[in-house]
Amino acid sequence: MTITVENGTLVANANSYVTLAEARAYATARGITLSITDSVVEVQVIKAMDYLEAQRARYQGMKVSETQCLQFPRYELYIDGILIAETTIPDILKQAQCRLVMEINAGIDIMPTRTGASIKKETVGPISVEYSEGAGGLAPEMSMVEALLDPLYGTKNVGITTIRV
């Protein structure tokens, strides 16, 4: 499998925002060693990309071209209030992809499939519940990935609290 990196110029057949070398360097800088086998890391990079692509409804702005392979680059993307050029792949997006590779490398299924009920036993009075092991497809908590992606997501609903004095 070949990794073809999108660099902001609408690269044909792009399937990643990072190279294998970038993914390895990111992991190494954080004390993690990825597989020495390129084909193993390539699969992890593609799975990480699948996760990023699955977030498409959450991203700000819109794709630059209807024919581009991936969700980025984008028009009308703001990070920290600054408009990002439509030829730019944000560094935080690349970092998120590398972080996802690290999660996959650690054995985390970043996009699990739900596999039925996760309650093994249930008693109604006086309430008792027993869950099965491997609670069937619950999404893992990847707080670092979400923190990196959060600035790329659309506007948040902001609640206004009124205090009477």
Ordered mean pLDDT values, 10 residues apiece, the chain (165 residues):
95 97 98 97 98 96 96 95 96 98 95 68 67 61 92 68 60
Residue 132 lies in a domain: yes
Which pLDDT value is given to residue 32? 97
Tens-place pLDDT, residues 18-30: 999 999 999 999 9
Instruction: Tell me how far apart the terminal alpha carbons of the chain are, to the nearest angstrom.
Output: 65
How far is the CA of 53 from the CAs of 41, 66, 114, in angstroms? 18, 15, 19
pTM: 0.81
Residue 52 belongs to a domain: yes
Copy the structure tokens of residue 56: 């498409």
In a domain, 8, yes or no: no
Amino acid 123: pLDDT: 63
Look at residue 141 and tell me if it is in a domain.
yes
- Residue 9, domain member (yes or no): no
Could you give the number of structural domains in the chain? 1
- What was the pLDDT predicted at 30? 97
Domain assignment of residue 96, given as a range: 20-152
